Chain A
C-alpha cells in the first residue's frame, strides 16, 4: 500500500485509454443457440505472432464474470447477509468469501436501490454463466473486509472502512465498483469478436452506467464526509487505473472525457484497481481477489 500512496503523490496525469488493438482472428465464436441453451466455443485460434495468444470472447466474458461475482457478493451480502448460492458461484470449486454483512438500512428508498442493484448483479452472474456454459469459471476467493481497509488506508480515508456499517458507507462501497464496471465493459467491447457477445456486453455496460449514475447522484446529494471518501476512492482508482476518472460533484454525475464519452479501461488497468496494486509490474492477486481472478486474464502484463 505504501507503493500505492507514493504513486498517488506522484500525481498521475489523467489519460484516456482506448480499447486495445483487438484480437486477431475470428475463429473463436460465441454462439447463442436458437433454443435450449448457449455455448461458447473454447477453441483458440492459432497465434498469428509467436508471442501472445489471442484473447477469446470466452476469456473476456469470464473476466467480466469475475467482476460480477465480486459485485454480486457485495450487494447480496449488503442486502440479505448472504452471498451467492453454491450453484451460482460455480459449485464446489468456488473460492471463499471473507466479510460482508447486512447493512442496517434506515431509509426505505436506499434499501430499495440496493435490492435492485443486488438483483441486477445476480442476474449478470447468471447471464454470463449461462452464456459461457461449461467454460464459465467459478467464483474466485473474494475479500470484502481487508480490501476496503487497505483501500481506505491507501486513499487517505483512515485505517479502516466498513461499507456494511451504515447505508451511507454502503453507498461509498457501491461507488467503489460501478464506474469501474462501466470502464471495464467499455474497454472490452472492442475486443469481442461476435455481435451477440458485443451486444450483450453493451447491455450490461449500460446497466452498470445506470447504477453508477444513481450512486454518484446519491453521493452528490449526500455531500459531506461520504462524498469526500468517494472522491478519495476515485483518486485511488485513477492512480491505479490510468486516470479515467471524474470526481463526483453536483455538475459531475457522469464520468466521461472532454467529448462526453465514457472512459475505457484495459484489463490491466482494471486488474490494478481490483488488486489494489498500481503498475508497473506483474500483479496476480490482491485487494478484492486475494488469490487472483479465475480464468485466463488474471495477471497484469505491464
Chain B
C-alpha cells in the first residue's frame, strides 16, 4: 500500500526556518524576520475576503453533510444562501435521494453532529459578514466526486452517499482541506476577534477530521487505501506533492493526524486550496463548477 509517509528530519540542527518557510509561503518570509503580523495591506486581502473564502467552503461542507443526513439542502432547512445584499444563491447538483443508508448509530449521530456544526459555521460567518456575505455559488456533489475518483485511481465514479464507508471517504475529502485552509488563513487575519473565531472553527474542523480518519482506520485496509489515494491526489493537485498524509500505520504508529514531521497540521494557501476544490481547474471546476463567490477565487 502506497502511503504518504511523514517525513523524518534526520537532525534537528537545521532548525525550523526551512519548514516554517514552507508552511507560511514566500510572502510571509520577510515578515517573519521582522516578527510582525503579515499585513493584509501588503497582500491586498481583507478579513472580509478571508471570511467569505471560508464561507464558500462551509457552504460546500454544510450541503454535503445535510444532504447526507437529511436528504435536504441547507436552504431547504432554513439556512440562508443568499448574499448579504439579497442576491440569490446557486444550485446544488446532487443525485436523487442522497440520504446515506446509515446502519451504525454512532456514525449516524456523528454525521448529524457534523452537519449541525457546518450549518452553524455557515450561519455564524453569514452573521459576522452581514451585508458583505457572498451568496452560495453553484455546488456540484456528483460529477465532482466522479472526477476525483478518476484522478485518485479509484475507478470511474464515486458516490459518497451510497454507503457508510463511502460517506466517510466523502467527508474525508473535505475535512483535512478545511483544516489546512483555516490554518493557512490564520496568519492573514488582522482583527484579533476574527482571528479567535477562525481559530475556533479551525479546531472544530480538526475534531471532524480526527474522528473521520479514526473511523476510516477502523473500517479496514480498503478504506485506508482509498483515503490514502485521495490524500495523495490532494497533495498532487495543490502542487506540493508532500503536504498530505494518508490513513494507515507507519512504524507502529497510526496516521490519524494529518500533520508534518513536527506534528503541526499542514497549512495551505488559498491558491492551493482552490486547486484542490476546483479539481485542478483554473477558475472553477469539480465542487465549484463556476468557481467561488467573492474576491478570493
Contacts and interface: CB of A to CB of B under 8 A. Distances in A.
A28 B37 CA distance: 12
B259 A31 contact: no
Given A203-B264, A261-B197, A213 B186 contact: no
Interface string B248-291: 01001111111111111111000000000000000000000000
A209 B117 CA distance: 15
A254 B204 contact: yes
A41 B35 contact: yes
Interface in A180-214: 182, 186, 189-190, 193-196, 198-200, 202-207, 209-214
A34 interface: yes
Contact of B209 (A31, A112, A213): A213
Interface in B14-54: 14-18, 20-21, 23-24, 28-29, 31-38
B89 to A, nearest CB: 21
Interface in B108-123: 109-110, 112-114, 116-118, 120-121, 123
A115 B254 contact: yes
B15 to A, nearest CB: 4
B265 A198 contact: no
B161 to A, nearest CB: 20
Nearest to A124: B263
B106 interface: yes
A250 B211 CA distance: 11
Contact of B196 (A19, A182, A195): A19
B259 A120 contact: yes
Nearest to B214: A214
Contacts of B23: 199, 203
Nearest to A257: B200
B207 A254 contact: yes
A207 B254 contact: no
A29 interface: yes
Nearest to B264: A203
Interface string A37-51: 110010000000000
A26 B186 CA distance: 18
B192 A130 contact: no
Contacts of A33: 15, 17, 33
Contact of A26 (B16, B28, B36, B114): B36
Q: What class of interface size applies to chain B in its complex with A?
A: 35 or more
Q: What class of interface size applies to chain A in its complex with B?
A: 35 or more
B21 to A, nearest CB: 7
Contacts of B109: 249-251
B280 to A, nearest CB: 26
A195 B87 CA distance: 36
A238 B212 CA distance: 26
A109 interface: yes
A239 to B, nearest CB: 22
Given A126-B12, A127-B262, A207-B265, A193 B35 contact: yes
Nearest to A108: B249
B94 interface: no
A256 B204 contact: yes
A213 B32 contact: no
Contact of A251 (B112, B179, B201): B112
Nearest to B186: A202
A207 B265 CA distance: 6
A190 B252 CA distance: 36
Interface stretch (A139-147, A216-224, A228-236, A277-285): A216-224
A22 B15 contact: no
B253 A259 contact: no
Contacts of B20: 32, 38, 196, 199-200
Contact of B262 (A123, A217, A221, A256): A123
A128 to B, nearest CB: 10
A253 B106 CA distance: 10
Contacts of B263: 119-121, 123-124, 127, 204, 207
Contact of B254 (A22, A113, A250, A254): A113
Interface of B: 12-18, 20-21, 23-24, 28-29, 31-38, 105-106, 109-110, 112-114, 116-118, 120-121, 123-124, 179, 182-183, 186-187, 192-193, 195-197, 199-204, 206-211, 213-215, 217-218, 249, 252-267
15 contacts: A29-B36, A36-B14, A37-B15, A112-B253, A190-B199, A195-B38, A198-B195, A199-B20, A199-B183, A203-B264, A209-B203, A217-B215, A250-B105, A261-B197, A263-B200
Interchain residue pairs A-B with the least CB separation, the first 7: A29-B35, A213-B210, A203-B264, A206-B265, A262-B203, A209-B206, A261-B200
Interface of A: 18-19, 22, 26, 28-38, 41, 109, 111-113, 115-116, 119-121, 123-124, 126-127, 130-131, 182, 186, 189-190, 193-196, 198-200, 202-207, 209-214, 216-218, 220-221, 249-264
